[in-house]
Structure 1
Amino acid sequence: MAVRLFYINYADLSVAYGATVCIVELAKSLVKQGHEVTVIVPSFPRDRSSCDGHHDFEVIYVPNWDIRFLRKIWFYWALIIWVTILALRKRPDILYWGEMTYTITPYLVSKLTGIPYAIIAHGFAPDELRVARWRMALVRWCQKVYFGNADAIVTVTRKIAERIHEVYGVPWERLHPIENGVNLERFKPMDKFEARRKLGLPETGYTYIGWVGYFFPWSGVETLLHAAKQVLAEVPHARFIIVGHGVWGTHLSDLAQALGLKVHLVKPLNNASSHLPSVPLPDPATWQVCFTGEVANELVPVFINAWDIATAPYPGGRNEKSGGSSMKIREYFGCGVPVVTTDVAGIGTRWLVGMGDNGEAATQRESGTGRGKPMVGERGVVVPPDDPDAFAAGLMVLLRDSALRQQMGHNARRFAETHCSWDEVARQTVKAFGGVMRKI
């Protein structure tokens, strides 16, 4: 049965980061499967040409105040009027809301319209926010209302579902852990030498190790930089390429320089540098670690394909509490590149070691001896979190064995095709709505 849904989020669709990728890719897959999707987001004061008219789903922009501290709160409360009016006119089957922090808007709109609603949770705010006690009390009250009354809750990890169940008593039949996907048409293997030529890199003579993402404190790039210093002492021709930008950017480049690494910044590591060119990269003889800053969306798969090894050095702490649904690992897998990552909840052993291509337990072997030794799986290597020595050891396992890298890359792509498509995420999401639809 085709579903007509409103998909409501606080997100800027003109900027390609994790949240917007999830929104756009899920909406595209739902439409491809015959469902009708209307995406509702705030109107940011930016050029929308990159997202308007490029998709098969409708996008409605809600006018928003461009005042930093009021922007999100205004949007939450403006939605009560906007979504109510739109829902009464278009009568969607379900309202699908991105998780919201300081409001009970999803609950109120559902009451006003009589339309059931679902929530998608990418994290668990009480475990992640560091705010005053009164603000945390408000967050918990709002979540108790909108989680407690939701007809269905989709979570991107099982850990998040467990926390919602434990803290708010939401019954398991309304909780649906569905992990993120990857666009397998965009993230696919390409000739490694061709990818390097596009980036201005020498085809041979260096071994490239990469990371891509947004710079958050919980990205773990510090661990990678400390490991890089150790790796370069043994493999001088190794080169590390860090693709991304964000609030943690200058801290990371400063750290790399403090470690004595030869650093090159292609452009500033902040959010205001997208107009600057990303390629060609400079001669690797002049750097050991290259920070590219923000790159064009279409270049991300090219960077990944240029690498010999991809990395996801997630730290513990926040990631252990909420688990992980790593989009970057799925993108690495889609491109057929082996991965070194850390053993945190929802990532690590389950993705690289713990499941075979058929979803069943895979064989694994350990490399080295002693505490923190790498676990070598079918698609990559897993090490303990927050341990630069272990991460360096994991990188060395793959640096020493090009045949192993090639086999792991092949396994990774095959696994992505079977388990990681957005089409599968869309099917599971509609299935989660099934019980809700029967109530209508």
Structure 2
Amino acid sequence: MRVLFLAYAHERGLRADAGGHRKLWELAWALAARGHEVRVLYPRLPGHAPLRSVPCRAYPVLDARWLRPLTAYLAMSAGAWRLGRGWRPDVVYFRSGANVLPPLVARTLGAAPVLEVNADTLEFHEVEGVGALTRWVWRTLEGVNARRSAAIVALTPGLKRMLVSRYGVPEARVRVIPSGTDVAHFAPGDVADARRRLGLDPAAALVGFVGIFYRHQGVPTLLEALARLRAGGVAVAGLIVGDGVPRAEWEARARGLGLGGAVTFTGQVPYARVPACFAAMDVVAAPFTAGRGETSPFKVLDAMACERAVVASDLASVRPLAEASGALTLVPPDDPAALAAALGALLADPARRAALARRAREFVVARHAWDKIGEALAAVLAEASRDPRAG
């Protein structure tokens, strides 16, 4: 089977090895390892380079605010058409967005367009304060892509329900395949060595967060929880790894809570250094807000792979992972007192913390390693390629 992956990046300043952009490379690698032919088209932008050893080609992008998405959409689609005329893919795989050209290009090439939906973009835009007109445009274009795709890969059951109810997509066309993680890269590390390299106190209790700074990540709730713990006599520090628009606001909030010297904001960290950040933490927090919406908690998977105990918000998108693994501690979202209590209990019980961490690692290796995800994806793509006109 021949699969063409289309990768692009909307957000300026976001690392090329972050989040969903890397996921496409991991999926391509997983399919190639199973003997399938793959190609990846990726944007020619500063810092962007192949993230896995698979055949790939860059397409040109003008790195300016409004021209970046427009030129990415056009150049990516043109590049896919040029490559596909000679190579003839069976499947064109692309992620959800406002670009309606990939299904058209796929049909022109006789390939099955397969859409990946990793988040409810309408809920995300609402939380982030995006205007009503932009939300309407995204809903309209995302609906076009959903209805024109031969198959849709939804990362959670909730996303499948959303696609069926909002866009009228037949249930049989939507398959749930969760996100994965690189269990060789995200692996247990030496705590003392990690803290030494990061310049952190080797003896302090440390709670951390890793992720892109969006408001739905709930970092202010974590900061308030840390302040409560310290006010109660717990000598805990915080490590906040990532960057984004709210960073200055969150740093000011930390200072306002008296956490200026106790919480470290690292900024964006290269992918190669993220496992060390997880290793330095006694407990990882994923304090998502109630308005986070439906999306895959892939950073939780990374933390679990690093054999860390995780406290996360009790949301519909997180609960199935907690129930299946038995390794997560869930708390109500937007509740600093509940989060502080859960963090404090784990910090005070090293044996329970270690047991949860081991269980987390074992579960992710067995169920969410990229080779396991690739196996499930290959079956869905093979079925879609047999009837590329579906949709």
TM, length-normalised to structure 2: 0.92
Query: Cα distance, 1:127 vs. partner?
Result: 3.2
Contact 1:36–1:57 (Cα < 8 Å) also in 2 = no
CA distance in structure 1 between the aligned counterparts of 2:121 and 2:201, rounded to whole angstroms: 45
Q: How is 1:266-305 mapped onto 2 (pairs within 5 angstroms)?
A: 287-305=261-279
Q: Which 10-residue stretch deviates more, 138-147 or 113-122?
A: 138-147
Q: Which amino acid letter does the alignment assign opposite residue 252 of structure 1? A: W
Q: Match for residue 202 of structure 2?
A: 203
C-alpha contact (below 8 Å) 1:336/1:413 kept by paired residues: yes
Instruction: Determine if contact 1:31/1:56 at 8 Å carries over to the other structure.
Output: no
User: How far off its partner does 1:65 sit?
Assistant: 2.0
- Which residue of structure 1 aligns with residue 221 of structure 2? 223
Cα displacement string for residues 34-55 of structure 1 (whole angstroms, at most 9, x for unaligned residues) = 22221112221x144xx34x63
Residue 341 of structure 1 corresponds to which residue in structure 2? 312
Distance 2:133 2:250 in 1: 33
How far apart in 2 are the matches of 1:106 and 1:310?
38
Superposition deviation, residue 135 in structure 1? 4.3
One-letter identity of the residue aligned with 2:351: A
C-alpha distance in structure 2 between counterparts of 1:208 and 1:139, whole Å: 40
Cα deviation for residue 137 of structure 1 reads 4.1
CA 1:140 to 1:351, structure 2 compared with 1: closer, same or farther past 3 Å?
Answer: closer
Q: What whole-Å deviation, never above 9, does each CA across 1:98-119 have from its counterpart, x for those lacking one?
A: 1121x32023212322221101
CA distance in 2, matches of 1:69, 1:213: 25
Where do 1:248-267 residues align within 5 Å?
248-261=246-259, 263=260
For the 8 Å contact 2:119–2:296, the answer to whether it is kept is no
Deviates more, 1:305-314 or 1:287-296: 287-296
Q: Distance in 2 between matches of 1:380 and 1:235?
A: 25
Determine the structure 1 residue equivalent to 2:302: 331
Higher alpha-carbon Rg = 1
Once the two structures are superposed, the pairs formed by residues 28-67 of structure 1 within 5 Å of their partners are 28-44=29-45, 46-48=46-48, 51-52=49-50, 55-67=52-64
SS at match of 1:317: helix
The CA deviation string for residues 31-85 of structure 1, in whole angstroms up to 9 with x for no partner, is 22222221112221x144xx34x63212211112222112112221333432222
User: Helix, strand or coil for the counterpart of 2:242?
Assistant: strand
Matched, 1:351 2:299: no
Distance 1:414 1:68 in 2: 43
In 2, distance between residues paired with 1:167 and 1:380?
31
Structure 2: distance between partners of 1:65 and 1:119: 25
1:414-437 Cα distance to aligned partner (Å, 9 max, x none): 111111111111111111113222
* SS of equivalent residue, structure 2 residue 92: strand
Which of 355, 361, 369 is 1:421 aligned to? 369
Comparing both chains, which one has the higher relative contact order based on Cα–Cα distances under 8 Å and sequence gaps of 6 or more?
2
Alpha-carbon separation, structure 1, partners of 2:265 and 2:168: 45
Instruction: Output the amino acid matched with 2:97.
Output: M
Q: What is the aligned counterpart of 1:391 among 308, 330, 339?
A: 339
Matched, 1:94 2:91: yes
Structure 1 residue 240: deviation in Å? 0.8
Partners in 2 of 1:297 and 1:80 — Cα distance?
28
Task: Answer whether contact 2:18 2:271 (CA < 8 A) is retained.
Answer: no
**Unaligned 5+ runs, structure 2:** none
C-alpha displacement of 1:94: 0.7
Deviations 1:318-357 (A, max 9, x none): 32xx2x321111111111111111101121x4323x124x
Post-superposition offset of 1:16: 2.3
**Residues 231 and 313 (structure 1), Cα distance of their counterparts in 2 relative to 1, 3 Å cut:** same
414 and 114 in structure 1: CA distance in 2 versus 1, 3 angstrom threshold: same
Residue 87 of structure 1 aligns with an amino acid whose one-letter code is G
For residues 4-83 of structure 1, what are the structure 2 equivalents within 5 Å? 4-11=2-9, 15-44=16-45, 46-48=46-48, 51-52=49-50, 55-83=52-80
Offset of residue 134 of structure 1: 4.8
Rate the CA distance shift 1:137–1:407 in 2: closer, same or farther, 3 A. Answer: closer
Gaps of 5+ in 1: 264-286, 357-377
The TM-score with structure 1 as length reference comes to 0.82
**Which whole-Å CA distance do the structure 1 matches of 2:81 and 2:4 have between them?**
11
Q: CA 1:300/1:47 → structure 2, altered by over 3 Å: closer, same or farther?
A: closer
User: How many residues were matched structurally?
Assistant: 382
Matched, 1:107 2:103: yes
Stretch of structure 1 that moved more, 223-232 or 143-152: 143-152
Letter in 2 for 1:330: L
Identity over the aligned pairs, expressed in percent? 30
Aligned equivalents of 1:296 and 1:128: distance in 2? 25
SS of 2:275's partner is helix
Q: Which runs of 4+ in 1 moved over 6 A?
A: none
**Counterpart AA for 2:174:** L
1:181-200 to structure 2, matched below 5 A, reads 181-200=180-199
Q: In structure 2, which of residues 348, 353, 358 is the aligned counterpart of residue 400 of structure 1?
A: 348
* Alignment CA distance shift 1:111-1:256 (3 Å): same
The one-letter amino acid paired with 2:280 is: A
User: Is the 1:315–1:342 Cα contact (8 Å) retained in structure 2?
Assistant: yes
Q: Write the mapping of 1:360-375 to structure 2, written as runs, cut at 5 A.
A: none
Looking at structure 2, the residues matched to 416 and 137 of structure 1 have their Cα atoms a distance apart, in angstroms, of 37
2:389 is the counterpart of 1:433: no
